[in-house]
Structures are given as structure tokens and as C-alpha cells.
Chain A
Amino acid sequence: MSSADIYRELILDYYRNPRNFGKLEKFDISAHDTNPLCGDEIEMQIRVGENSKIEEIKFSGRGCAISQASASMLTELAKGKPLEWVKLVAKEDVFKMLGDPELGPSRVKCALLGMKVLKTGVYGYLGAHYEDPEPGT
């Protein structure tokens, strides 16, 4: 896999034209995180609707194409889903969504930052606690 494959049309499109970018005026869940290695930054806000569904979701932040596209695509996937769905999302789902690019360990963190923020916010709202995998795993 080459970088031309990582940065295919899809990722560049979401990087330059992020969907669901911005902030919600009224929201029930808000979470924010940065990647200390590189300073990538993502914030997500969610308004919870009937039957604990994700009624509205927006993200904001700045960083590399992978982190921003991944967060944007994740908000699209999440919209309309029940909150419990967020618990089932795994990193493999995120990779698949991005087109299974071959990423080194440091870039994997970029790809997963959006998922981390989403999970942190939703787990907290559900009274649970999201813990990142331990270093070295």
C-alpha cells in the first residue's frame, strides 16, 4: 500500500469538505481530546433524541487529513444510531470506513482520535468510562 492509496479521493474530500463540521447550539454530550504527539484536536457534540438515539452530531477541530476525515466520517455513521451502538464500534470499523489504509502506529492514533472522543463522550453520558488501550498493545 502506498501513500497514494492512503490519501485516496475519499479521505481528501472529507478533509477539505468535512461533513457535520461545526458546533451545536444545544447538546447533551460534549467531548474533546488532543493527540499529545502531534496536537491534532477533535471536539464532538451530540444532541440525544427519542429512544436514546443520536439526533444531531457535529465535530470541530484541526489536524491532519486522516484525523479530520475519520472524525467527519464517524459522525455520518453515528447520526441516527442509538447511543449503545457507539459501544460496539471497534477500531477495525474505523479502518474499514477509511478504506483500510496501511497506517504506521503513530498515524493509527490520528485515525482513531475521533472514535476516542466519540466513545469518551457517550460512555460518560451512559455512566460508563472509556479507557484507551494500554501503551504497547
Chain B
Amino acid sequence: MLKTEAVDVERIRRDFPILKRTVHGKRLVYLDNAATTQKPQAVIDSLVDYYSRYNSNVHRSVHTLGEEATAAYEGARGKVARFVGARANETVFVRGTTEATNLVRFAWGEKQVKKGDLLLATRMEHHSNIVPWQLLAKSKGATLKFVGITPDGNLDMEELDRLLGESPKLLAFTHCSNVLGTINDVANVSRKAHKAGATTVVDGAQSVPHFPVDLSALDVDFYAFSGHKMLGPTGIGALIGRKALLEDMDPYEGGGEMIREVFDDHSTWNDVPYKFEAGTVNIADAIGLGAAVDYLTSIGMDKVREHEIRLLDYARETLSKVKGLHVYGPEDSKERSGLIAFNYADVHPHDLATILDEEGIAIRSGHHCAQPLMRCLNVSATSRASFHVYNSYDDIDALKQGIMKAGAIFKV
């Protein structure tokens, strides 16, 4: 197989200080990017710069630091919005994907969902796009049903059509599965849902970090993602919502900044998106996320995607030579993102992860916060190697060698 790179990996790796460290005396081979990615120096610097040069609260102070901090925070909002083809006034900063879905659950769900309503999720969802809807269904007396998956790891479109025929209020589905890697046809699914009268909540946690996303072409109502999975800091992410929906929604949390006027017995709300950003916001990390977006844009998301497809192809070919190794998810790399979930003989994923760790290789093992999907696959856990732009062919060779070592220890 031709091992050419779509990006200059050596140069990119130099931007990530953590990649210089060793683990158990070995070069760090970081393949747990679906859990969280590493941060380039530019992102780290943006945090230090904010705290050491213009730390101040936003939207309240007219002094110089306050003006600078506000400009940087709102500037970051604009960057994040443009990065996914959205508008700044429909982009709400949240803690991450989990807070985004919970925000929709409370601010949209409490008002819109009634007793007897039907909510839909899919069996390839992360718990963060299941549990909020379970809680909503419970509090409202609504029903939650699941769209299944086909044996090759795609959404079961027949079941989707059938369940959409039952007039659901909501369809919650992921853009990209964090276990199977499946990339769903968001525009198509969302259009079907809208025809059936359902509101769509799309989990973009594994898509925005890995390939170009243009929400202006996707026709979704709510879209959520996390900054820490796209080279940004922890504690920041975004919920993009259709403006009219956001305006019609009740607030999520009450407090400072989200109000227009407060009286003894009632209050009026600030404009969207501020209505949903109560209290002092996560200024530093929002600015850091803006820096991550700048960094990714400078590489180009189409390049990131191309790089990950090549790594995926190489990894699949390399791992196919390991006897007893089973890979989950769609066959075609063009239909999936840069991650591979697998099981290896009777070596439990945790044991494999421990043996790989000793070689400096970080993978994820476990249920990946997707237990309904694990049940579909009839396993309790899998191992998962997931890539980002700084991973190299060498990383995949190291992974294979580590797996072979586990095979020797377990006498597979």
C-alpha cells in the first residue's frame, strides 16, 4: 500500500507538545482521539494569553480588559459558527455535547413534549443522546423508541421510515458513530424526520472534529459538538439551533446575563444566544476553541479528512493480517470516520489496553458510553483506536506490534 500523507504530519506533530513525552519509556502513540484530542501549542497559548493579558468578565464591564475579553469571546463564537456553516446568533456556547442535548431536553422538551408523545433515538447513539430523552420521556409520560442498525453497521432505514410513520415529536441521531465510525446521511434523515413532523437533534461530537460540516446544507434543528474532541480545551462546546426554535424556547438556567429585566415576580429574557448562557461563561475555553478552529482551518478540514481516510485504509489492511481480530462497522472507509473498534480473540479490551499502554500506546477499551449499541453487537466491550491529524502510519504499525505482543502473552 502506498504510504503517502495528505498533510505534513512531521510538521504538525511539532505543534503538539504532549507528543514529545514518553510513556513507560516509549514514544507516546496516542490513538484515543475519539475520547479527547491533544492540544496544539496555539490553543495552549491562547489560554495563557487570555489569563495573563486580558482576563476579565464579558458583557458587563466597559473597561479595556472587559472590552477585549468580550471581543475575543464573541470573536470565538463567530469562528465556531462559520466553521460549521452556522450563524453566530444561533450558536450557544455550552460545556460540551452532553450539556447541549440536556439544554434541548429542558428548554425545548419541557415546553414541547406532552403525555403520550413519541420520541425517537437510534441504537448507535452515545449515552448523551439517549439518557436526556429517557429522562424527558419519563417526566412527561412520553415514549422513547429506538431505530435499529443493520448488520453492516448502518441505520436501518426501513425501521426509521416505519417509526417516523408513528408521528414522533423528536428524532435524536448521531452524525457519526463513536464506535462503528458510521457517517449518517444527516440531510436525508433530517428531511425525512421533518416530513413526519419531528424535530431533529443531531450529535456532531465525532463529525465536526474530523471532516467538513456545513450545517447550511443539512437541514437540522439542533446540532451539538464538543471542543475538547477537536483540539480545543475541555469544558466548552456548542449547540447550534434554528433561530426560530431557540427564540421560542424557555431559558435553560436562570441567573445573570440571560435576562433583559428582572422584577420581583417575573423576568424577561435576553436575546438568543445569551438567553441560554446564564452566569459567567467559560470565557477562556471559548477563546481556546476559537484558536482550535483557526488551527484546523489552517490545515483544512478536507485535508484532515483525507489524512484520516488514508490512515483508516492502512489500519484496516494492517490489522486484517492479525488472525482472530474482528473489526466493527461499515467496510468502505469513505462511509466512515477515522476510528476502528475491534475485538481480538478472547483478549478482553481492558487487558489489551493495559498491554498496549506498556508500549506507550493509548487506546480506549470498554463500552464507549454506547451500551445499547454494545448489546446490538452482542459484546460487552470493544477496543477502539481513533485517529486525528497528527497520527502517522508509524502509529498504526506500533498498534499492530502491540496487539501481536498481547497475542503472545495471552497465547492466542
Name the interface residues of A1-30: CB closer than 8 Å to any CB of B.
Answer: 2-4, 6-7, 12, 16
Q: Which of A4, A12, A41, A63 is close to B350, meaning CB atoms less than 8 Å apart?
A: A63
Contact of B350 with A3 in the complex, beta carbons under 8 Å: no
| Residues in chain B near residue A4, CB distance under 8 A | 409
Question: Which single member of B346, B357, B381, B409 contacts A38 (CB below 8 Å)?
Answer: B381
* A110 at the B interface (CB under 8 A): yes
The answer to whether B354 and A39 have CB atoms under 8 Å apart is no
Contact residues of B between 354 and 388, Cβ < 8 Å to A: 354-355, 357-358, 365-367, 371, 374, 380-381
Measured in the bound complex, the distance between the Cα atoms of B406 and A12 in whole Å is 12
B348 within 8 A of A: yes
Complex Cα distance, B411 from A38, in Å, reads 24
Q: A39-B380, A63-B380 are in contact. Are A3 and B355 (CB under 8 A)?
A: yes
Interface residues of B in 385-412 (CB under 8 A from A): 409-411
Q: Does B253 contact A (CB under 8 A)?
A: no
- Beyond A38-B367, A39-B366, whether A12 also contacts B354 by CB under 8 A is no
- Asked whether, in the complex, the Cβ of A64 is within 8 Å of the Cβ of B348, the reply is yes
Pair A107/B350 contact, Cβ less than 8 Å = yes
A84 to chain B, nearest CB (A): 33
State the CA gap A65–B346 with chains docked (Å).
9
The reply to whether A38 and B366 form a contact with Cβ atoms under 8 Å apart is yes
Q: Which of B355, B357, B380 sits near A7, CB closer than 8 Å?
A: B355
Would you call B380 and A16 a contact (CB within 8 A)?
no
Contacting pair A7 B409 (CB below 8 A): yes
A3-B358 Cα distance, complex, nearest whole Å: 7
| Interface: B351 (CB within 8 A) | yes
Q: How far is the CA of A62 from the CA of B366 in the complex (A)?
A: 12
Q: Which residues of A contact B381 (CB under 8 A)?
A: 38-39, 63
| Interchain residue pairs with CB less than 8 A apart (27) | A2-B358, A3-B355, A3-B358, A3-B409, A6-B354, A7-B351, A7-B355, A7-B410, A12-B411, A16-B346, A38-B381, A39-B366, A39-B367, A39-B380, A39-B381, A40-B350, A63-B348, A63-B380, A63-B381, A64-B348, A64-B351, A65-B410, A66-B350, A66-B351, A104-B354, A104-B357, A107-B354
